[in-house]
Copies of this chain bind each other. A is one copy, B any other.
Amino acid sequence: MKFEKPVPVQWVADFTGAKLVGNSTQDATGINEIHKVTAGDISFVDFEKYYDKCLHSAATIIIINKEVAYPEGKTLLVTDEPFTAYVKLVKHFRPFEPSAKMISDTAIIGEGTIVQPGTFIGNNVRIGSNCLIHPNVTIYDHTIIGDNVIIHAGTILGADAFYFKRRKDRAVQYDKMESCGRVVIHDDVEIGAGTTIDKGVSGDTIIGAGTKLDNHIHIGHGAVIGKNCLFAAQVGIGGKAIIEDEVILWGQVGVSKDLNIGKGAIVMAQSGVPASIDGGKAYFGSPVGEAKPKMKELAWIKRIPELWEKVYGNKNL
């Protein structure tokens, strides 16, 4: 997320109660998670093992829980609670704004677009032309939708990222990460009924042009779905997964977070994808393997009793 105008880093330090170390005169221009940062961004890190990655990222301003050596020109904001400081900034720059009516006055809806009754369209939403939004859809604030998009009833775009920091020593253990990312739907997408696409934590959750999603699909925060993909009903995609173009996922497939599915991969129904897989192949199983050897495994399993009998002379279970 980029700010509307630059903010002096000293202001950020004062606002979060952090100690400023390093360059004290530059401006912050946005706020982003480590995998999305660009120059001018504030990011945060609170685990030593990620210090290096964050300090050497494009982020200009780093909220951190220890004063450490840092690259020339960067600013450290040192505080015991980088997560809390980061969340405070998100809430300041992207405060929740209640809506008084079903379609916000700040929403922009293109020519030829039909919005059916019962649909909620939040603040600063932009919808292109010739779209059809069926009844009882919910479109959270800041969502961007292209042209010729069809969204079926009950679908929800832009709910918060499911992202928490655990504090085992507290009574309420999970601290909520506030999200300031958006959902961005490109042209010619169709989304089925009762599907949910969460907003990104700081970046965008993106559905590429021409992709078709069936009913009851879940797309986690910050996932990036390519062009001309086809996902059947009840598929679930974890946060920040990257699904390249023309991927086909059949019904009830589950995809873990933070991985990559290569272009044109096909994943058979009910399979589970726990880690990155190459494009251009078919997969099956939970966890998935390539479909053909995985199917052969099923045949081999059926042969165990015969093998047992050959070795032991009986096949009693």
Residues of A within 8 A of B (CB): 96, 98-102, 114, 116-118, 120, 122, 132, 134-136, 138, 140, 150, 152-154, 156, 159-160, 162, 164, 171-174, 176, 187-188, 190, 192-194, 196, 198, 209-210, 212, 214-216, 218, 220, 228, 230, 232-234, 236, 238, 246, 251-252, 254, 256, 269-270, 272, 274, 286-287, 296-305, 307-308, 310-312, 317
Given contacts A154-B138, A311-B307, are A269 and B269 in contact (CB under 8 A)? no
B116:A99 contact, CB within 8 angstroms: yes
Residues of B within 8 A of A270 (CB): 254, 270, 272, 286
Which chain B positions have C-beta within 8 A of A102?
A: 117-118, 135
**How long is the Cα–Cα vector from A230 to B272 in the complex, in angstroms?**
20
Tell me the bound Cα distance from A172 to B310 in angstroms. Answer: 53
Task: Identify the interface centre among A134, A171, A210, A296: most chain B CB within 10 Å of its CB.
Answer: A134
Q: Is the CB of A196 within 8 A of B190?
A: no
Q: Bound complex: CA of A138 vs CA of B317, how far in Å?
A: 51
A159 touching B152 in the complex, CB below 8 Å, given contacts A270-B254, A308-B303: yes
Q: Which of B162, B196, B212, B298 contacts A174 (CB 8 A)?
A: B212
Contact assessment for B215 and A196 in the assembled complex, using a CB-CB cutoff below 8 Å: yes
Q: Which of B152, B216, B238, B246 contacts A173 (CB 8 A)?
A: B246
> What's the least CB distance linking A228 to chain B, in Å?
4
Smallest beta-carbon distance A30→chain B, Å:
25
> Please, how many angstroms separate the alpha-carbon atoms of A292 and B299 in the complex?
17
Provide a sorted-by-A list of 16 A–B residue pairs whose CB atoms are within 8 angstroms: A96-B132, A102-B117, A136-B156, A138-B153, A152-B160, A154-B154, A156-B215, A171-B210, A173-B246, A176-B190, A196-B233, A198-B215, A214-B218, A218-B234, A220-B233, A234-B234
CB pair B236 A156 closer than 8 Å? no
Are A299 and B272 within 8 A (Cβ)?
A: no
Query: Given A140-B153, A172-B210, A286-B270: A233 and B162 within 8 A (CB)?
Result: yes
